[in-house]
Amino acid sequence: MQECPTDLPSLPSLFDPRIPDNPVLWAVLKGVHSGKAFVNDIHYPSQCVIRTDANLTFASQQINQDFLDRAIAFCRHIGPVWLVWSSMYSKHLLVPQAVSAIQRLEFFDYDPNSSILADWRQRMPNGFEIRAIDWQLLERCEWRDDMEFYCGSLEKFIANELGLCMMQGDDIVVEAYVSSFGESQAEIGAVTREAYRGHSYAPIACAYLIEACEQRGYHAYWSCDCENIASARVARKLGFIHEMAYQIFEYDAK
């Protein structure tokens, strides 16, 4: 097993582009987010594991048991490992013993010109507006620390990603984010301030964020824990066509 640059040109072809959380993986492969890549042969790699600096870890589609086991064990010396796993992997491949398994859902594909998204944008209440997240607004955001963690720094978030806030006057109502621009998809998510919950404001803000993603040439992608019923409800309201289950296996650092 050898470490190699994450932007090695031969690496993207080793991964299934449909892998869950793929915008996060491709942000690392593009050199936008940081991580470490490990391959069986640096000149002619056929197996690879990539661990992002935000702990999410991805295995290539033709990986074998021995390489997976060794790579996960090695990555645990770097820090915690959150291994993304789905039915796309061979049924003969066993996941190394983990501390826990998080049940997740992913949502993707939609009609960007659908009446669903247009209707949500038209529901903006009087006195509310959408404002781009800048440095001043970011300092007041609930998910400020999350963006710093997943993007590597707040500077990287401002430079490379995207955020919108739904505002009522100077009050933040909803924060909606792109945390990763991948190859063709953008990972989005949102949080509504507690005082404003229960009014379906999040789908309104996210409909504007999806429009901004489309203008940049990206399709929105949504993922959440299965137990996060509110998040899954927002994704369904936005008209995503496909909903699939996957898992994240968690390993402690050694």
Going by C-alpha positions, the residue among 163, 156, 119, 122 that lies closest to residue 140 is: 163
| pLDDT tens-digit series, residues 23-36 | 999 999 999 999 99
Q: Which CATH architecture has domain 111-238?
A: 3-Layer(aba) Sandwich (3.40)
Which H or E run contains 26? helix 22-29
pLDDT in tens, the chain (254 residues): 999 999 999 999 999 999 999 999 999 999 999 999 999 999 999 999 999 999 999 999 989 999 999 999 999 999 999 999 999 888 889 999 999 999 999 999 999 999 999 999 999 999 999 999 999 999 999 999 999 999 999 999 999 999 999 999 999 999 999 999 999 999 999 999 999 999 999 999 999 999 999 999 999 999 999 999 999 999 999 999 999 999 999 999 99
Q: Are 253 and 240 in contact (CB under 8 A)?
A: no
* CA–CA distance, 15 with 48 (Å, rounded to integer): 8
**pTM of the complete model:** 0.94
Q: Which phi and psi angles does 166 have, rounded to 5°?
A: -90, 125
